[in-house]
Every structure is written in structure tokens, then in C-alpha cells.
Structure 1
Amino acid sequence: MTPIPPNESAGPLDGIRVIDLTHMLSGPYCTWLLGALGADVIKVERPSSGDFTRIVEPMLEDESLYFMSVNRNKRSLTLNLKDPRGKELLLKLAKGADVLVENNRAGVMVRLGLGKEDLAKVNPRLVYASISGFGQSGPYQHRAAFDVVVQALSGMMSVTGEPGGGPCRVGTSIGDIGASLFATIGILSALQKRHVTGHGDAVDVSMLDCQLALLENAVARTLNTDELPRALGSRHPLIAPFQAFATADRPLAVCVDTNEQWERLCRAMGLEHLLHDPRFTTGSRRNANHGELEPILKAGFSSRTREEWLQLFDEFDVPSSPINSVAEALEDPQVRHREMVVEVPPGSGRRFVDVPIRMPGSIRPSASPAPRLGEHNRGILAELGLGDSEIDQLEREQVI
């Protein structure tokens, strides 16, 4: 078992040490999750400037909000991995670690002498996770990739946006975050497998692969029918009505997935005659005749305000929702009840989204703020057995 930093609450991953060699978003989001679940995450950064996102604006008290959001629950160690002494310190750190996560281009870690096989020599139990744009093999393996690149290449942008409009990026970095989530699943699976085999696996996660997995139904329809998925705005490709509608004031979203919900919607809207219309008797028919159904519903929705419709739909048990801004969503009573906004550290006024995992019977680990560059150098190196004079020398010679 590896030590957990002082004053940290125990969590499901208590005793797991993670070496974080990631930057930007796809890797740090993964290691943020691992740290939030209790792992001791040591973020290894370049001595001069650290993670690229440390300078991304907007800034709060000279610190990047981008960096602070996804680098909570970590300790920072600066190492020059091109210096043999920096590399030796990383290998020493790896001896007692459980997981290493990196998100460089394929081949970078091998050229540094820090690939999976190199580290397996010092710690065969180490789970080695690599997140990259295109994976560790294939014709694109050495290419750089960012969120919009994999959204574009995967087809995600072709099914996003309004009908007839230009290609549209999903409004959050789903290319990065999707890869982070799949990497986290892979890491946890590899740790479980290690209990049986005693060896740590390599986990290879491609951002492009993950986008295709997230496109699931669109991919299935493309492969098995003559249909080419396209952008439909807020509509669902298979279900109707399942979209946003304007009201007398502000828009709302409605989802009718079953015939029972369709009946309740028609009664709530005073459109009972539609229940006997052969064009709309089943979900498939409603979807096939969407062009005829939508104008009828639009006219109905224009007769009341959003709040009036939401109250009616709540009474009739019709799935619906206001279309919130991010600010409105954060003030929603359900979000507030679930305490999805946390102040890190408490009393600082710095607020971020919490980890959306609740585990009854487990202690939810308290969040620690993102570290200053090299903030934990001395503590971590002392854990590796280095004395003050050795650490002083490494600082003078810019190894750390």
C-alpha cells in the first residue's frame, strides 16, 4: 500500500498511487477522477512551465480556471525527464506506483525510455494507460489530435447542429472527456485484473475510437441500413416528439418515448383527436410523419408559457424540461440538492463541479485544490528517500 497525502479522506481507491504524465484535458480529466476517488495522484510536470493549461485564461488570482478545474486532488512534482537524473527519479517513483497515465503522441514515451516495457522492468505490476488521438497503432498513430479534430473525423460533427446548417462541434469537449472516461474504466478494469494475474496491463485508448463508440446508434444504422445519419437539431432520429419547442415565451424540451407518454401528452395539450390519427398511432409512425406532426405541436405550444406547460406536463407525467443556460442549470433545485457544485478548498470562494458519483457506505474524499507548480517536490522526493541536500542540488541544477 502506498501512502496517501496527509489530511485526505479515505476513498474507494485508497492506497492506489497514480503517476500522472498528462496535460491539457483528455489525461488530466481521467486523473482528476482517480484522485477524487481517493488515489494518490502525483502530477509530473516540466520544471520551467508545467502543464500547458496553466496559462490558459481566464485566470483567477493568477491561476488558470481551466487548469484548476481538472487538476484538483493531485500533488505536483516537477521533473526534467530529458535529464538522466530526472528519468531515474521517475523510475524510482514508478517502482512504488500502481498506475501511470500519459497522453502524449504515440512513441514519445518509448523515445524517452519510459514506455510500458521500460517501466515493466522496474514494476511489472504497473498499469500503464495511454490516451492519444489515434491509439498506439495505425497510420495516424503519430498525428496530433485535439477535440475538434476527432469530432470532425469521427462523423460526430456531421450529426450535430440544425438541419441544413454547417458542421457543428458538440458544445463541450466530448472528444477529450469521452476518452478520459473510457480510460478510467480501462484503468479500473486493469487494476481488478491485476488481482488475478499479478501483472499490470497496458491500456490503449484512442480519442477517435471513443467518438465512434459514443456515436453507437448512428454507427449501427450506417452499417446496417441505407440511412445516412444527419444533423437534426434537437430532434431524436428515431423518436417523436423528442425535441425542443418554442412556447409563448421561452423554449422547453419534451420527450415522448412510449405510447402511454404520447397519450398523456395529447391529453395535457388538448389534442386527444391525434390519438386516433393513423399517422401517429405508434412511435415509428410519429417519427416517419414528423414533418406533419411538428407543425401541429408547434401551434399548440405557442398558446401557453413555458412554466404553464411544465406545470401541466408535471401533472400529466410527461417527460419535459426547461432549456437552461449553464448558470440556470447550476441553480436548479435538483442540482443544488445533489451538491454538484463544490468550493475548493472550502471557504476559498473557488467553485467547481463535483464528481457525479455517489457510493453509499463509502467516504466521499474531500477535494484538494489544484497544486502550484512543483508544490509537492520536497514531500514526494523525501518519500523516495532523498535528503534536503540532494533536493537542493536538484533544484540548483534544474532537474526539478
Structure 2
Amino acid sequence: MGPYATQILGDLGADVIKLESPTGDNMRAVGPMRNPGMGAIYLHLNRNKRSIVLDLKTPEGRQACLDVAKTVDVLLYNVRPQAMARLGLSYEDLANANPKLVYVGAYGFGSNGPYAGKPAYDDLIQGMTAIASLYQQNSGDVPRYAPLTLADRAVGMQVAIAMLAGVIQARASGQGQAIEVPMFEAMAQLVLGDHLGGETFSPAEGSTGYARLLVPYRRPYATANGYVSVLIYNDKHWSRFFEIIGRSDLLQDPRFSTHTARAQHIDEAYCFVSETLATNTSEYWLQAFNAADIPSAPLYCVDDLIADPHLKQVGMLKDLQHPSEGAIRSPAPVGNYSRTPLSIRRNAPRLGEHTEEVLREAGLADTAIDSVTGTRPTDTTDTTDTTDNGKLP
């Protein structure tokens, strides 16, 4: 959550300082990689950031953290709040150092509930918020997690929004605040927004679940030679689909005649589409649907996504030259801003690459920096090795 939220803000132009322990972010160790500590996912999540290493369990490391916190708008932590309190870095501790600070916690469970303080990871939250069981209900297979870090990234976007909202409020009022964005509650909101169903009403007007999302035939449709994705959704789409297949008479079928009727018979509707599409090729259906302006698309694998001509044209994968990793590619920032164009200004940093730089900006003296880093610069007027410092020009 934390690295993704701050990747978004870094892409938007924020100066993001990534505070790591001496052992570094765990994702550094997840390959593939060319060099130790620089794994592929780490490289994407941590562009546009500076890395500092502090041992927060030492008095010097804690004080350095407080000194840096005096210079920033937001402190985001991605560990349990009890750990922050044990380190002497609670909201009260940080607010004393910087009353305007927005102190944002992204962790598993809200502090007011019985699960407060329990550990949480993406897989656990997907399981607890019914995502795995919804897959089972939809497919008839065993429960499965979505094959991406869905909770981390979905909640990470919520965290980024919370940070921006907190800064807006702090700049308007001159006073910061503590904000928590718990994974469980955030993903429960996401799931229940679709699937609260009849339990929306009191007393209930039916069972939970959004039927269209749960029928077995809501999946890529098999054709005579492959698969296609298609969503025949509104009255116009269904009318044109029936015309394509020469079955305009089905517009009078009480199961298919209205949007409400189709929603009530969605399993039959999708089953009919599935049986129909199996009679011809993917190329035939994609051409026919495109001509009729019915939303459709080929079924991609990840390799197809990389090769997609639209994504190539808009520059979705950026070619970068990393000082230590060489030529790499990274997904581009999302969106087009007419006055403040987005960019990848910094490569993902090596562990602790910017420690001395950031501590100097925070006003620490050489002796204090030495006590934190365990080294003393030989030339205090030039502490940057420009031949291998990981910074873009």
C-alpha cells in the first residue's frame, strides 16, 4: 500500500523520501533482478523517490526521523501503529515536532475494532473481504485470490487520496491531523458496494450479491478458435446483437426484452451468448461487434498487453536508463495534465542512496549525520559521487 500510494504522488510531482531500515524494503529482494536489492517490482514502485536508511531503534535514528519530519507535509507509515508507538514515533511525538504534519497510517484493521493490531497482507484481506469466495461462487472452482496484489493497490489509491486531502486541509487550517486508512475496511467498502444487494434494505429485499457479476457465464466467451471479451449490456447492444445473429424475434422474449428482465434472467442471457459465440471465430465476432458498436475486445495475456498498439502509441512502457541496473522499462504515470505534465524524474534508488543528502536538507550537522550513518565525509563541500549517484540529470 505505502509504496504504491507514494509512487502515485511521486509521479504527480511530490518529493518522496523513502525511509528504510538497514535491511531495506522486502520488495527489493523479489526477482527477477540484475543486482541484489533491486528487484523488478521494487524498481517500478519506487521511482521518483529518494531512499534514506535510519535505524529507528537507536536514539540517533529516531531523532533524525523527527528532524526530517519537521520539513515535510506528510508522514506515511505502512506498519502497525503499535510499532510506531514503541519507536516513540506516535502522532503525538510527530505533531510536537511538526504541528502541520499529516500523519497517515496504512495498515490492516481500524484502531476502533476488535481486529486492531492484527497483522494483515493482501492475501489475508482478499480472503476476509470475500474476494476469494466470490471467485468460487462465480466459477464453481475452489476459492482463489485475484492474481495481482489487488488489496494493496486498491487501498494504496485510497491512501494517496487521503494524503492529498490531509495536505489540503492542513494548508488551509495550519493544523495537521492523524489519518488511518485500514485495508480491511477499505476493501470491505469496495466489495459491499457491488455485492450488498438485498441487504441494502431493512428488512432485506433479497440476498447479497450482484447477480451479473456472479453467473458462471460472466467470463471470456469461447469462440470456434479462441476467446473474446464482450459486454452486451444495454437495450441498444442487445437489439444489435440479435440483428447480427438473425434473431430479432428475441426482442419480444420476456426474458430479454428489457434491462430489468435480463438482469433477472442474467444466467440465461449469458448462457445464450456463450452458446452463440461458440459457432464462429474470434475474428468474425470482433469485426461484427465493432461494426455494431458493441463493446468487445480480444482476450490478452500479459505479453499481449506489452505488445498492444494503443499502449505503445501512448507510451505506457517508458524506456529508462538506470545508473546501476542499465536499460529497464517501467509503466508510465497515468493521465495527461496540460499544465503539470507527469514524468519519471528519478530512478528507483539504491538502499540509503540519499541519506546524507536528505539529512543535510533537514539541517543536521556533519557530526549528527556521522552518528546516524556511521561514516564521516572526507569533504563536506561535496558529498555526492556524481559518477554513480542514481540521480537523473
Do they superpose with TM above 0.5? yes
C-alpha deviation, 1:291, in angstroms: 4.1
Structure-1 residue corresponding to 2:207: 227
What's the TM-score once normalised by structure 1's chain length? Answer: 0.86
Deviations 1:316-349 (A, max 9, x none): 0001111111111222222222222112347943
1:72 to 44, 47, 52: 47
What's the TM-score once normalised by structure 2's chain length? Answer: 0.87
Structure-1 residue corresponding to 2:160: 184
C-alpha deviation, 1:396, in angstroms: 2.7
Q: 1:50 to 1:291 in 2, by over 3 A?
A: closer
Q: Secondary structure, in 3 states, of the residue corresponding to 2:105?
A: strand
Structure-1 residue corresponding to 2:195: 218
Structure-1 residue corresponding to 2:293: 317
Structure-1 residue corresponding to 2:381: none
Amino acid at match of 2:68: L
Structure-2 residue corresponding to 1:147: 122
Q: 1:283 to 1:265 in 2, by over 3 A?
A: same
Structure-2 residue corresponding to 1:396: 374
Matched, 1:379 2:354: no
Q: Distance in 1 between matches of 2:110 and 2:100?
A: 22
Q: Distance in 1 between matches of 2:43 and 2:273?
A: 45
Q: Secondary structure, in 3 states, of the residue corresponding to 1:349?
A: strand
Amino acid at match of 1:360: S
Structure-2 residue corresponding to 1:159: 134
After TM superposition, the structure 1 stretch with the greater mean CA deviation from structure 2, 193-202 or 308-317, is 193-202
The within-5 A match list for 1:96-175 is 96-161=71-136, 162-175=138-151
Q: Distance in 2 between matches of 1:275 and 1:370?
A: 56
What RMSD in Å do the two structures reach over aligned CA positions? Answer: 2.3
C-alpha deviation, 1:206, in angstroms: 0.6
Q: Distance in 2 between matches of 1:93 and 1:351?
A: 32
C-alpha deviation, 1:375, in angstroms: 0.6
Q: Sequence identity, in percent?
A: 33
Q: Distance in 2 between matches of 1:137 and 1:281?
A: 49
2:314 to 338, 345, 354: 338
2:32 to 53, 58, 65: 58
C-alpha deviation, 1:136, in angstroms: 2.7
- Structure 1 gap segments, 5+ residues each: 1-25
Aligned 8 A contact 2:104 2:163 in 1: yes
How many residue pairs align between the two structures? 368
Deviations 1:1-48 (A, max 9, x none): xxxxxxxxxxxxxxxxxxxxxxxxx1111111111111111111112x
Q: Secondary structure, in 3 states, of the residue corresponding to 1:142?
A: coil
Structure-2 residue corresponding to 1:353: 331
Q: Distance in 2 between matches of 1:385 and 1:163?
A: 58
Amino acid at match of 1:306: S
Amino acid at match of 1:381: L
Aligned 8 A contact 1:242 1:254 in 2: no
Q: Distance in 1 between matches of 2:363 and 2:301?
A: 51
Deviations 1:260-292 (A, max 9, x none): 111111112332221222221012222333444
